[in-house]
């Protein structure tokens, strides 16, 4: 039998009962203190039939926040809140990794105790920040000095230690979608002239330093990385994404990671998406590959059968279908997602989507 979405898989040390992964999804329902709530426990536990859950993007430090209501992973209270989630998912036989996030310039002083957002270069993104006061123009971020970067690497290490204490099966380093590590990678947002700007080697340096430090903390077999080579969201662009991300994929081979996770296009329907050969990049990478974006059951099975992907991450379908695995297995109809309740709010549009069987 060829492999398909329902075949078990191993990503590093993480054993999956199927190849249907819940993609990271920002939901803004953890309050101003950034502590996971009981409502969040219910939400993740409802989705534990996924082969693996990747949590919503989770700030690694106070400066890593860029939206209201995000849960963090750097205080004891946050660890205790997440522990309830990992225990609930494990009790149902699921696996869960936490996505480690620093937003960089995609933030606002009102979310940072008055501080300016930080970035590789002082370039204001187009668009608006989503704050507790509503949508407001982004500000020009402060360019990080190279001597500040070791402390940011250390924040990733501390967050990883917190994640392990909270009982996660692993961590996913968020290097996608126009946030800090992606801002360093791509030359539309990185105009530095030091060791962290210019060549591919220099622009990938912070990501590789973070990866090395996180791998030393958790073990490479518990670490994944998410990239989005051509996603224009958050005003991102690169002059040569294929060569840059081919280089990144080859460099990541040295860490024997649990997986490489790629967003294979543009999210939120914004901007022109450059041509990119994901299969070429995927062949350069020697480990497990998680594909994401706009897959359905048929295309997911095809990507696994052809060897393009080992596992498939589904986002919006998991918002609306807590039992997505069962629905795919039985070819049942899917619930429609209500986009108005994606970001923030109550249990409505969060934990009240119906299961097939009550």
Catalytic residue selected from 179, 247, 314, 328:
179
CB nearer ligand PHB, residue 267 or residue 288: 267
Examine residue 55 and tell whether it contacts ligand PHB (CB under 6 A): no
Q: At its nearest, how many Å lie between ligand PHB and the CB of residue 158?
A: 21
Q: Which positions from 252 through 311 interact with ligand PHB, judged by CB under 6 A?
A: 267
Give the integer Cα–Cα distance in Å for 240 and 299.
28
Q: Which positions from 141 through 180 interact with ligand PHB, judged by CB under 6 A?
A: 176-177
CB nearer ligand PHB, residue 47 or residue 261: 261
Residue whose entry in the numeric block shows the structure tokens 């589904």: 314
> With contact defined as beta carbons under 8 Å apart, do 264 and 277 qualify?
no
CB nearer ligand PHB, residue 233 or residue 328: 233
Q: Choose which of 57, 73, 88, 325 interacts with ligand PHB (CB under 6 A).
A: 57
CB nearer ligand PHB, residue 104 or residue 287: 104
Q: Choose which of 11, 22, 26, 252 interacts with ligand PHB (CB under 6 A).
A: 26
Give the integer Cα–Cα distance in Å for 242 and 274.
10
**Neighbour tally for 45: CB within 10 Å:** 20
Give the integer Cα–Cα distance in Å for 157 and 211.
10
Q: At its nearest, how many Å lie between ligand PHB and the CB of residue 242?
A: 21
Q: How many residues bind ligand PHB (CB under 6 A)?
A: 6
Can 179 be counted among the known catalytic residues?
Answer: yes
Strand partners of residue 142: 118
Q: At its nearest, how many Å lie between ligand PHB and the CB of residue 262?
A: 13
CB nearer ligand PHB, residue 114 or residue 269: 269
Q: Which positions from 175 through 204 interact with ligand PHB, judged by CB under 6 A?
A: 176-177
Q: At what angle do helices 149-165 and 205-218 cross, to 10 degrees?
A: 30
**Neighbour tally for 339: CB within 10 Å:** 10
Q: At its nearest, how many Å lie between ligand PHB and the CB of residue 267?
A: 6
294: left (phi over 0), alpha (psi -120 to 50) or beta: left
Q: At its nearest, how many Å lie between ligand PHB and the CB of residue 7?
A: 28
> With contact defined as beta carbons under 8 Å apart, do 274 and 240 qualify?
no
Q: Nearest to residue 259, comparing CAs of 104, 84, 52?
A: 52
Helical (H) or strand (E) element with 174: strand 170-175
Q: At its nearest, how many Å lie between ligand PHB and the CB of residue 222?
A: 21
Q: At its nearest, how many Å lie between ligand PHB and the CB of residue 265?
A: 13
Would you give the DSSP letter of residue 306? Answer: T
Strand partners of residue 224: 172, 259
What the block records as the tokens of 205 is 């340096």
Residue whose entry in the numeric block shows the structure tokens 């971020």: 141
CB nearer ligand PHB, residue 300 or residue 315: 315
> With contact defined as beta carbons under 8 Å apart, do 58 and 71 qualify?
yes
CB nearer ligand PHB, residue 5 or residue 68: 68
What the block records as the tokens of 334 is 């899917």
Give the integer Cα–Cα distance in Å for 34 and 75.
9
So which residues are the catalytic ones?
179
Q: Which residues bind ligand PHB (CB under 6 A)?
A: 26, 57, 67, 176-177, 267
């Amino acid at each position: 039998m060829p492999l398909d979405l329902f075949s078990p898989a191993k990503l590093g040390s993480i054993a999956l009962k199927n190849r249907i992964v819940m993609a990271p999804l920002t939901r803004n329902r953890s309050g101003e203190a950034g502590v996971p709530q009981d409502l969040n426990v219910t939400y993740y536990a409802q989705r534990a039939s996924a082969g693996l859950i990747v949590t919503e993007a989770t700030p690694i430090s106070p400066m890593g926040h860029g939206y209201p209501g995000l849960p963090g992973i750097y205080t004891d209270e946050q660890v205790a809140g997440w522990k309830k989630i990992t225990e609930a998912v494990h009790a149902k036989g699921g696996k869960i990794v936490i996505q480690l996030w620093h937003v960089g310039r995609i933030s606002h002083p009102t979310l940072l105790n008055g501080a300016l957002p930080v970035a590789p270069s002082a370039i204001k993104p187009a668009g608006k920040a989503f704050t507790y006061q509503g949508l407001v123009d982004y500000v020009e971020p402060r360019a990080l000095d190279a001597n500040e970067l070791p402390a940011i690497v250390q924040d990733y290490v501390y967050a990883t230690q917190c994640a392990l204490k909270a009982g996660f099966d692993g961590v996913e380093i968020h290097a996608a979608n126009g946030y800090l590590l992606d801002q360093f990678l791509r030359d539309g947002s990185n105009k530095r002239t030091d060791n962290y700007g210019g060549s591919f080697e220099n622009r990938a340096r912070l990501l590789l330093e973070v990866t090395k430090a996180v791998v030393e903390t958790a073990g490479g077999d518990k670490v994944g990385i998410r990239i989005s080579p051509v996603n224009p969201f958050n005003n991102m662009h690169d002059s040569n994404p294929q060569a840059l991300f081919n280089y990144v994929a080859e460099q990541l081979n040295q860490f024997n990671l649990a997986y490489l996770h790629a967003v294979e296009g543009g999210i939120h329907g914004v901007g022109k998406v450059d041509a990119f050969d994901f299969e070429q990049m995927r062949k350069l990478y020697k480990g497990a590959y998680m594909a994401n974006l706009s897959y359905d059951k048929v295309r997911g099975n095809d990507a696994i059968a052809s060897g393009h992907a080992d596992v498939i991450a589904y986002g919006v379908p998991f918002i609306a279908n807590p039992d997505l695995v069962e629905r795919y297995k039985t070819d049942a109809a899917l619930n429609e997602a209500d986009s108005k309740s994606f970001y923030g709010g109550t249990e409505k549009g969060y934990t009240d989507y119906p299961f097939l069987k009550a």
